[in-house]
A and B are shown apart, each in its own frame.
Chain A
Amino acid sequence: MSTEVNEIEELANREYKYGFVTEVETESAPKGLNEDIIRLISQKKEEPEWMLEWRLKAFNHWKKMTEPNWQNVNFPPIDYQDIVYYSAPKKKKALNSLDEVDPEILKTFEKLGIPLEEQKILSGVAVDAVFDSVSVATTFKEKLAEEGVIFCSMSDALKEHPELVKQYIGSVVPYTDNYFAALNSAVFTDGSFVFIPKGVRCPMELSTYFRINAANTGQFERTLIVAEEGSYVSYLEGCTAPQRDENQLHAAVVELISLDNAEIKYSTIQNWYAGDKDGIGGIYNFVTKRGLCKGINSKISWTQVETGSSITWKYPSCVLQGENSIGEFYSVAVTNNMQQADTGTKMIHLGKNTRSTIVSKGISAGRSNNSYRGLVKVNKKASGARNFSQCDSLLIGDQCGAHTFPYLEVNNPSAIVEHEATTSKIGADQIFYLNQRGLSTEDAVNMIVNGYCKEVFNVLPMEFAVEAQKLLSVSLEGSVG
């Protein structure tokens, strides 16, 4: 056993694979946050006047708010004046093809194992790569345009479809929503905008890779997805970030709107730098994600695999407003070393016969803490509402913690709400069984954990599912206790 433990320790101590810095000339605003910076961002992005006003309103509101402190994570106070709020790879000129993209950036993507060309050819996935806040390459735009699908960066959307953005931005997550949403509303630099018109089934899975580069740049993404009546879209988001010693703040806002009979599937793989084994460095991932099932029979499904970040603090939520609307949340959250995660979901049942499913799998290893926090609220008028929640925790090692904080608030007698949670460890007998069949302990743990997460991986889009399994084994390497 002791040799195993050594091996395990070795593996657990492995450096972050994707930790590198790409040297691209960047154009940055000075550190700090004030009205001038916001004006600068807005001006750089050539935004319409109303956008700037909205940003300033958000900023003024943010100044009145205080940072929340109820979460089950600890971190030193953030100095919001010590962050660069705008940094963009220096723009050369408008780009038409991949050849025009800075070769350095292309190399970065290759290192990450996501070469644009390959993806273009093999998987038919349109990739809108966001590299430090500015979108540098967009593919398959034409094909999407044929169907009337709009898939572009937020800054382009503001230029080309300002009326759509104006109609929907902030309608699900108003800038008054919470501290980080207000901050994001004031200073967001870019993100993705997706609009699926009536009756269109998006011909391909849309995906964006976010990267955080340039030291000390808080990344404030803003994503807005609107699915009109009867449409369908599957959106994928995946992240890796280079190794840094200072904590980087990431406060994104994602808004989804699903109208009558429309469906949005939003999948995330998050593998930002988690800090070293003593918890130095790493990303603060404080994200507000919320979907509104506005129309009847609409559906929003969140799937997330969270393996990175030193602190993950997010609750992708569904507001089930339309009758018969459906909300789903599938999550795997892995924490190792000193990582902290406080994640879960909120399902707000407003409409009749609304249904929601929550499946959350938490895995804690090392000295990490993993919390599930969820709210299921059934409003008085939501008769026939149905919820099923399951949140399981797996503990690997005796120094980690797993916590569940489910809130169930039911105001309607015809609602059926069920919540189940279990906590367990990987049994020595299970490992023994697999060892005996010739698998190393490492592989055995991987296999068991993958089996444990299967329910969630099954709902991931195919390419993501493969990536997720790989990620999981990397994150857990050698954490067998």
Chain B
Amino acid sequence: MTLNNELKNWYVTNFKMFEEGLNGESKSKFHLVRKDALSKFRELEFPTTKDEEWKYTNISPLLNYNFRQPVSIRLKPEQIEKYLFSTKDFITLVFVNGFYDESLSSVPKEIKGLTVKNLSAALKENSPICEKYLSRFAPYQSSIFTALSTAFVKEGTFVHVEKNAVIEKPIQLLYLTATGENIITNPRNLFVIENNAQVKIVEIHKSLEENVNFTNLVTEVVVEGNAIVEHVKLQDENLKSFHISRLEVDLKKSSNYASYNVSIGASIARSDINARFNDEGGECTLNGLYLAHENQLVDTHTLIDHAKPHCNSHELYKGVMDDKSRAVFNGKVMVRKDAQKTNAFQENKNILLSDDAVVDTKPQLEIFADDVKCSHGATIGQLSKEGLFYLRSRGFSEELARTTLIYAFASDVVHSISISEVRDKLEEMLAEKLLK
């Protein structure tokens, strides 16, 4: 307990320095939110395995570090190129150690109907959209990590797509942590997509060196009526780092949101993904893939809240666990009273490759309406013997037969990504990782 308090004090002290570094922005309205979040952060306790939401995830390793605010460094374009999905056709924003790097980014001067900029610029301009939505959906009152993130909101990406605008070019966000030991970054994204608009956003989280770092990410997405959003996230940090993220999606009438969450890196990676239908006719897809080896722990908590009738949700999460890795999946589907004609389907499939790998999965349904179709399924198993035999009989070596099957199992999740560059690159990456 005292250790926790010391750690909290550490962040509180850091906040003062952070405040001074804001250069007058601390007088803005949003700074009150930061301060409030900080006071909430002081009140809240770090979760232990006694909390139901953290039952299988022990985050005490993270509490052993006093993570510091990062310093900015400069990278050359050729150092980052290989981490991008595409260097040409995408709108690209690059953040290094939590700082926006304009020279590495490529944001076209003007695209009709689209505002895309780094968050601190948007805050500086007092963007009314920013003010309206920022921190409205991520509840810092109940989650200590979200409170921490909110207190230290400074940089991230702000995307606003105006009514009826269809943005052809995907937006690509690259968050890098480079030099600097034990640094914490609190990237914050806000995507607001107005009526009938369409956009595709891709996030990449990557660490360049083998230091122990902590990324505490919060993303808020507002999908207005009939808007269509595709959102891909690749988390590929080094195996010593911590990655804690929260994604909040607010869906309006007949909107459509699809998330693809690929988690490969970090020693402890925890994602909380919450989608809420606020009006009828919405459609939400949450797909994910986690690969873990060595001592990695991947924890995914999803919640789809069917608060309104006539909405559909589809969820598919797959995992491949090797060595001493551990996966936790908790998928909750909530169908509220009166949310009739709901269709909600959820699946979680896991393959264990080693004797020491562990999977704890808990697909949960909470249903308060009667005219609904809901199902969930969870499986944990290994490669099918028949499948292996078939490939062996066709002349595959044992190793190749195994990896081929694993690749087929895993790549399934990314197949439905519509951005071909992203899909190809992810498939390539999976092949490289699995077919070694």
Q: Which residues from 421 to 444 on chain A have a C-beta closer than 8 Å to any C-beta of chain B?
A: 421-425
The residue in chain B whose Cβ has the minimal distance to the Cβ of A365 is B370
Q: Please report the total number of B residues contacting A with Cβ < 8 Å.
A: 37
Chain B residue nearest to A411 (CB atoms) is B358
A417 within 8 A of B: yes
Are B382 and A414 neighbours in the complex by a CB distance under 8 Å? yes
**A424 touching B373 by the CB < 8 A rule?**
yes
The answer to whether A417 and B355 touch across the interface, beta carbons within 8 angstroms, is no
- What A residues does B358 contact at CB under 8 A? 409-411
* Contact of A400 (CB < 8 Å), options: B355, B360, B370: B370
Which of A407, A409, A416 is B381 in contact with, Cβ under 8 Å? A416
Residues of B within 8 A of A412 (CB): 352, 355
Of A51-59, A241-249, A391-399, A459-467, the stretch lying at the interface with chain B is A391-399
Contacts of B371 in A (CB 8 A): 398, 425
A contact residues around B377 at 8 Å (CB): 418-421
> Given the complex of chains A and B, what is the CA–CA distance between A406 and B364 in angstroms?
7
A402 interface hit (Cβ, 8 Å): yes
Say yes or no: A413-B382 contact (C-beta < 8 A), given A398-B340, A421-B377. yes
* A449-B361 Cα distance, complex, nearest whole Å: 30
Contact check, B381 vs A395: say whether CB atoms are below 8 A apart: no
Q: A231 → chain B, closest Cβ, in Å?
A: 34
Question: Min CB distance, A394 to chain B, in Å?
Answer: 9
The reply on B168 being an interface residue by CB < 8 A is: no
Q: How far is the CA of A407 from the CA of B382 in the complex (A)?
A: 19
Q: How many Cβ-Cβ contacts under 8 Å join chain A to chain B?
A: 114
B365 lies within 8 A of chain A by Cβ: yes
Residue of B52, B352, B375, B379 near A421 (CB, 8 A) is: B375
**Do B354 and A413 have beta carbons less than 8 Å apart?**
yes
Tell me whether A182 is interfacial, beta carbon within 8 Å: no
Q: Say yes or no: B365 contacts A403, CB within 8 Å.
A: yes
CB distance from A55 to the nearest CB of B (A): 31
Chain A residues in 8 Å Cβ range of B366: 401, 403
CB-defined contacts of A425 to chain B, threshold 8 Å: 370-372
Q: Is A20 an interface residue (CB 8 A)?
A: no
**Residues B368 and A401 in contact, CB atoms below 8 Å apart:** yes
Q: Which residues of A contact B166 (CB under 8 A)?
A: none
With both beta carbons as reference points, the residue of chain A lying nearest to B322 in the complex is identified as A413
- Pick from B360, B361, B365, B381 the residue with the most CB of A within 10 Å: B365
Verify if A75 is at the interface (C-beta below 8 Å from B). no
Task: Tell me the complex Cα distance, A419–B371, Å.
Answer: 23
Q: A398-B337, A407-B362, A422-B374 are in contact. Are A413 and B357 (CB under 8 A)?
A: yes
Interface presence of B359 (CB below 8 A): yes
Residue pair B359, A410 in contact (C-beta under 8 Å): yes
Indicate if the CB atoms of B353 and A413 lie closer than 8 Å: yes
A395 touches B355 (CB 8 A): no
> Which of these, B338, B360, B372, B379, contacts A395 with CB under 8 Å?
B372
Q: Is the CB of A408 within 8 A of B380?
A: yes
Q: How far is the CB of A403 from chain B (nearest CB, A)?
A: 5
Q: In the bound complex, how far is the Cα of B381 from the Cα of A411, in angstroms?
A: 11
Chain B minimum-CB-distance residue to A426:
B370
A157 to chain B, nearest CB (A): 40
CB–CB A415/B375 < 8 A: no
Interface residue B233 (Cβ < 8 Å from any Cβ of A): no
Within the complex, what minimum Cβ distance (angstroms) separates A480 from chain B? 11
Q: Say yes or no: B352 contacts A408, CB within 8 Å.
A: no
A423 touches B367 (CB 8 A): yes
Residue contacts A-B, CB under 8 angstroms, 18 given:
A398-B338, A400-B370, A407-B362, A408-B378, A408-B380, A409-B56, A409-B358, A410-B360, A413-B353, A413-B382, A417-B378, A418-B377, A418-B381, A420-B376, A421-B374, A422-B373, A425-B372, A481-B370
In the A-B complex, list the 3 residue pairs whose CB atoms are closest, starting with the nearest: A413-B352, A395-B370, A423-B374
Q: Which residues of B contact A (CB under 8 A)?
A: 52, 56, 335, 337-338, 340, 350, 352-355, 357-382
Beyond known contacts A403-B364, A404-B376, A415-B380: 5 more, CB 8 A cutoff: A400-B370, A404-B365, A406-B362, A417-B378, A422-B375
